[in-house]
A and B are shown apart, each in its own frame.
Chain A
Amino acid sequence: MLEVRNVSRTYGEAHALRDVSVTIQDGQFFSLLGPSGCGKTTLLRIIAGFEDPSQGQVFHKEKRIDNVPANRRRFNMVFQRYALFPHLNVKQNVAFGLQMKKTPSAEVEQRVSEMLSMVQMETYGTRGVTTLSGGQQQRVALARALVNRPEILLLDEPLSALDLKLRQQMQVELLSIQRRLKHTFIFVTHDQEEALTLSDRVAVMNKGRIEQVGTPQEIYEYPKTEFVARFIGSINVLGGEVGDGAADSLSFVGPGKRPFIIKASRDGSRPLPSFAKGTKVSLLVRPEKLKLLKSAPGPEQNTLEGTLKEVLYQGPITQLFVQPKETQGPVWVISQPNTAVTARKQFNLGEKVYVSWLPEDCLLLEKDGNGSGG
C-alpha cells in the first residue's frame, strides 16, 4: 500500500501540489488524470524520488520513504520519452538495473531474455535502441523497468508519443501484463479515455489538487465537482439555484425561472444532494442521457425548449446541437444511437424542439469557480 499524506510542492511562488493525500492499494492499476500543469507528473516524480515534497510525507508499506533516494526505492519508471540509453543495445538497457544490483550474470541473462520475450522483443536483443520504432522503444522501456520486479511500476504518459492505433494496441498489452504480474501500476495521463479504459481507480487532478478518486464508473457517472464532470467526457451545463425540496426530490430553478426535478439514482449509489434553498448550483446532464422530441413530453420528465442548430452523423451515433430558448449560453449536445427508432424521426435545422431527460439522470453540483455554466 502506498500512501501519500498531505503532500505539497512549491517552486518559488508556484504551487505544483497543494495538500494532496491519496492511498493506492497493492495490485491496482491506478491512474493520475488531469490537464497539463495539474501536478500529476510532479506527484509521480515525488513517488519515484526525483523530487522532494515541500511538505507532507510518502509511506510505502507503513514505512516513510520520501527521504529515500530514487536509486534505493524499489519502484521503477517508464519515462515519457522512454529515456533508453543510446550507447547501450536493447539487452544492455534491460540488464542495466539488475547489474546495478550486482545480480549474477547468469540470472541477468535469463531474466532479461524472459522479459524481452514477454514484450515480444526477443529477436531485437543486440539492436541499438536508436534504430527501433516508437512502439518498440516503448516495449524495451517497459521491459527495462519490469525486469527489476518493482513493487510499484510508475508510468509517465508512456503512450502519448505513439499514434492512435499503436496506442490502443499497447493499452491492451499493458493491461494484460498488469493482470498477469499483479504489480501496482501508477499511470499518469491526460487522456481521459485511456484512464477510463485501463484503470481500476482514477484520481482526477486539477491545479495541484485531487478533485476526486474513484472507479472509472464513479468518475464518469457521479462526478463530485463540476471540473471532473466537464473534464471526463462531454456534458451539458445549466446554471441556476436550488428551489423547493420534497421527500424524494429537489428542484432546480434554471434560466427563465423554469424548474427542473432532480432525484437520487435508482440503485442508490448517488444519493439526493443536500443543498439549502437558494444555493447557486449547476445542473449537468451527459449527452447520451438526453432525448430529442418534436413535442413537449409529460411533467415527469425534465424538458428544455430550443432550436435545432446542427446535426452531425457519426456512424454509431448522431450528435445534435440545440440552442436552449431561455439562455444565450452554449448549445446543448444530444447524442443518439443510430437505431431504427431514432432513424425514423427526422429533424430539420432551425426547427423548434424539446430536449428531455429523467430526473435520475442529471447531477446537481456546487458551482465551479471557473466554470462557465450557462
Chain B
Amino acid sequence: MSSTKPKPSRFYGVISALTFIMIYVPLATLVVFSFRAPTGWTFDWYTKIFSDQQIIEALGMSFFVGTVSTAISIVLGTAAALTLERTRFKGRGAFDILTHIPIIMPETVMGLSLLIWFVFLGVTLGSFSMIVAHVTFTLSYVIITVRTRLQGMDPQMEEAARDLGASPWQTFWKVTFPLVRPGIVSGGLLAFTLSFDDFLVTFFTAGAGSDTLPMKIYSMTKYGVSPEINALSTLMLVLTLVGVLVIGAREKLSSPR
C-alpha cells in the first residue's frame, strides 16, 4: 500500500504515551519492588516464596490442572476441528455455534453454573472439578486454533494421499497430522496459558484447600500489599509472557506460507 498516511497530531501521541504509562508503570513498579530490600536489592522475596509450602502447592496445582486440561482439550479439540472442517453433516452449524459459546459467555456465569452442576451431582470440588471446568473453556480455543490451521491447508492434500493408496488412518498420521501439528501445538500452548492464568472459573470450582496460583495471589492480596506478592506476581508474569512469546514466535515462523 502506498497511500499517504498522515502523521498523527502530537496530542494523539501524548494520549497514547499516557495510556501506555497507565498500563505499564504499575506492572514495572511491581517487578522492580520484588527485588527491593529496605536498603538495596535482594532475592530474599523469591527464596521466601519458594520456601512457602502453600505457594509451592498452588504452583504444583496450577501445573497439574493446566497440563491435564490441555491434554484433554488437545485430543477432543483436534478431533472436533477435523469434523467441523472436513465433513458436512446435519447440525454442523449448531455445533459450530456451540463451540463458540464458552468464548462469549461471561466467565462468572460459566463458573457458577458448573458449581451448581457439580454440587447437584455430588462431585467433590477440587482438582477434578477444576480440570473439567478448565477443559470446558480451553477446548473452544483449541478447536478454533486447529480449525484455522486446517482452513489454511488444502483439502486436496488429504485427497492426494487417499488417491495414492493411503487408508483414512494412514492419511491422518502421514499427512493431516504433520501439517496441522503447528496448530495443535499453538492451541495447546494457548490452552495451557489460559488455564494457568484463569481466576474466575477456578474461583467457583476450586473448593476449599485446592488453590491454584492466581487463587493464592488473590487471597494474599486480600490482606494488603507485600513484597512476597510482588515476587510471586513477577514470577507468574514471566511464566505467561514466555508462553505468549513462544506462541507469537511460532505464528511468525509459520505465517509466511
Contacts and interface: CB of A to CB of B under 8 A. Distances in A.
Given A79-B156, A80-B156, A83-B156, A101 B165 contact: yes
Contacts of A365: none
B174 to A, nearest CB: 8
Interface range on chain A: under 10, 10 to 19, 20 to 34, or 35 or more? Answer: 20 to 34
Contacts of B165: 71-72, 97, 100-101, 148
B178 A96 contact: no
A144 B164 contact: yes
A79 B160 contact: yes
B185 to A, nearest CB: 14
A113 interface: no
B178 A70 contact: no
B161 interface: yes
A81 interface: yes
A87 B157 CA distance: 11
B250 interface: no
A76 interface: yes
A85 B163 contact: no
A48 interface: yes
A88 to B, nearest CB: 8
| Majority DSSP secondary structure for residues of B touching A | helix
A97 B175 CA distance: 12
B154 interface: yes
Given A83-B156, A86-B179, A69 B161 contact: no
Contacts of A187: none
Contacts of B167: 71, 100
A81 B154 contact: yes
A75 interface: yes
A183 B201 CA distance: 63
Given A86-B179, A87-B178, A100-B170, A70 B156 contact: no
Given A71-B166, A87-B178, A87-B179, A81 B156 contact: yes
A50 interface: yes
Nearest to A87: B178
B166 A77 contact: no
B126 to A, nearest CB: 42
B96 interface: no
Contacts of A83: 154, 156-157, 159-160
Interface string A271-295: 0000000000000000000000000
Contacts of B178: 87
B162 interface: yes
Nearest to B159: A50
Contacts of A75: 163
Interface in A67-116: 69-72, 75-77, 79-81, 83-87, 96-97, 100-101
A97 B164 contact: yes
Interface in A46-78: 48-50, 69-72, 75-77
A56 B162 CA distance: 23
Contacts of B175: 85
Contacts of A87: 178-179
Interface string B125-169: 000000000000000000000000000001011011111111100
Nearest to A156: B156
Contacts of A77: 159-160, 163
20 contacts: A50-B159, A50-B163, A69-B162, A70-B159, A71-B165, A71-B166, A76-B164, A77-B160, A79-B160, A81-B154, A83-B154, A83-B156, A83-B157, A84-B160, A96-B161, A97-B164, A97-B165, A100-B170, A101-B165, A145-B164
Interface of B: 154, 156-157, 159-167, 170-171, 174-175, 178-179
